[in-house]
Structure 1
């Protein structure tokens, strides 16, 4: 099932469980299975099989290919306008990991900015976030509006470094679980710069090699194997099943929480020793400072917390509406 949202003289959008469709065109947004063409905002949006033909950055496609995925792709560079029929488009850096992008579209004398993830805080491992003026702005609301209220991303990184150093000094070898595409490279870099010897899971190792191939400096690291013990801490992707099952009891377990990926729950064999909140993208409070730069006339928000965001952002545009499939109402 699906639902459409529109405003008089506006572009019509249809939200489904498989992305958003720009009605009257072939363009979808972060769809995996449609038969038309879909913009892919980041590698994390394609954790499952991709049937759609996709528009994406070269970096995003290379990360997917490192995991033996071969999407049918139209590869585009940042800030290089291109057109498909009546759609004039351009990819802008979102600031969320290597290859992460927003999509700017002009059609029927309307300018649209699809920005499901934005990160204004520079991680130094990817391009800085860019936004552009648009008539219609499409945002996501996957976490509560003030998900990281009273939490400083900078202070959390400082606290993480301090915690790891204390554990290493105590001859402990902590295992850190994090979102791999954007947060993993950033954490690898900041720990390495502090003189901490970092080993990474093979999946994160593949991602880091793509980062380095595109000139990103992610610090020093080794690929983890059971035959190597010359490291202080081990970085792993958060398991998709959210269960912590195979961690040796002697190793402290650290979870880096992210507002877009899965949360690491206490598993069957042990609890989480420390949690840190270092999100890969900004929350609603930061969005409120970004939106005025875009100057939209209409804002459409999708995701489980869409209505919460609508209440908070309604003063920023004449039209602010939630956009979600009819059978999947927002939580608030």
Structure 2
């Protein structure tokens, strides 16, 4: 009998446990609270921070909050969550079943962010992983280079009497930008769509400095932080003499500024880059790898590194292993 199956989501056979299920199921692990990983289920299991963030979207979602390092028994399987380094509360899941050790990463990042724990490693027989930036051109700068570029953009705006607008997803990069810039004593104005997420970060121990909610006030001498989808909104377009900076791993592509209608873009991501993906696989050293989404050519790179790897082409009710 296969241990891992797929039916619009990954399921651990012989248990009720699904992993980031794409449809409503009785019981699913939620790796993190980005909308592409969250559905309403009968019950979920996730870290306490992820549960708090999910409740912003689904207030009555029944949930088991499992701390990092705490073990939980599901039929003949034992699970444990450990940090993924992606956003607040993001977790990998370690599953022990039938003498096999399985890891499902969800989205992850090895380099340390300011507002979440970095991804950690452990050995496994089977690795189910992402490869969002699994192409060699995706090699991101060091954090200090990214911060320098952000500061240069902001200072140039201030010198020219312009309003710097920093754009990052409302969960993850927005909080990173607010943390970094607030700690550098910049005055931050935060868009209302980001503020509820920011409050949950604070409830879970992340401290921010020098920010206030954006209410359309005079922005002179302040940095406005917004999510990217608001770049072309009327509220933002009417800000006089504004310049926009996008934080995105896709900024490795020079066309991304045009796509998002921004003045500058910095390749700052909450995902692992190509180098980190390869490093991660070597540290886990699995017997079998399934790449769930991202760049299919990454599988060929893993094979050249000596690993038994396959890209996950899901079809209804397929058996993976």
Q: TM class, shorter-chain normalised?
A: 0.7 to 0.9
Q: Aligned pair 1:122/2:112, yes or no?
A: yes
Residue 210 of structure 1 is matched in structure 2 by 200
Task: Check conservation: 1:299, 1:317, Cα contact below 8 A.
Answer: no
Matches within 5 A, 1:74-223: 74-149=64-139, 151-223=141-213
Counterpart-to-counterpart distance in 2, 1:150 and 1:63: 28
Residue 254 of structure 1 is matched in structure 2 by 245
- Give how far 1:230 is off: 6.5
- Give how far 1:40 is off: 0.6
TM-score by length of 1: 0.84
Counterpart-to-counterpart distance in 1, 2:37 and 2:107: 16
Shift of the 238–19 alpha-carbon distance from structure 1 to 2, 3 Å rule, reads: farther
Residue 13 of structure 1 is matched in structure 2 by 5
Shift of the 64–116 alpha-carbon distance from structure 1 to 2, 3 Å rule, reads: closer
Counterpart-to-counterpart distance in 1, 2:297 and 2:78: 32
TM-score by length of 2: 0.87
Residue 3 of structure 1 is matched in structure 2 by none
- Give how far 1:324 is off: 2.0
Counterpart-to-counterpart distance in 2, 1:64 and 1:284: 29
Counterpart-to-counterpart distance in 1, 2:140 and 2:69: 35
Q: Aligned pair 1:234/2:224, yes or no?
A: yes
- Give how far 1:159 is off: 0.6
Alignment match of 1:64 (pick from 54, 58, 75): 54
Structure number with higher relative contact order (C-alpha < 8 Å, ≥ 6 residues apart): 2
Matches within 5 A, 1:42-57: 42-45=32-35, 49-57=39-47
Aligned length: 310
Task: Check conservation: 2:140, 2:267, Cα contact below 8 A.
Answer: no
Residue 311 of structure 2 is matched in structure 1 by 322
Counterpart-to-counterpart distance in 1, 2:117 and 2:141: 24
Task: Check conservation: 2:114, 2:180, Cα contact below 8 A.
Answer: no
Farther off after superposition, 84-93 or 26-35? 26-35
Residues 250-306 of structure 1 show CA distances to partners (whole Å, capped at 9, x for unaligned) of 2112211146xxx97757xx931111110101123211112222121111101142x
- Give how far 1:209 is off: 1.3
Farther off after superposition, 317-326 or 174-183? 317-326
Farther off after superposition, 69-78 or 149-158? 149-158
Shift of the 172–66 alpha-carbon distance from structure 1 to 2, 3 Å rule, reads: same
- Give how far 1:12 is off: 3.1
* Cα root mean square deviation, aligned: 2.7
Farther off after superposition, 245-254 or 185-194? 245-254
Q: Which runs of 5+ in 1 are unaligned?
A: 1-8, 328-332
Shift of the 147–216 alpha-carbon distance from structure 1 to 2, 3 Å rule, reads: farther
Task: Check conservation: 1:179, 1:258, Cα contact below 8 A.
Answer: no
Residues 233-258 of structure 1 show CA distances to partners (whole Å, capped at 9, x for unaligned) of 1111122xx87243236211221114
Q: Aligned pair 1:291/2:286, yes or no?
A: no
- Give how far 1:326 is off: 4.3
SS of the residue corresponding to residue 119 of structure 1 reads coil
Farther off after superposition, 145-154 or 111-120? 145-154
Task: Check conservation: 1:198, 1:231, Cα contact below 8 A.
Answer: no
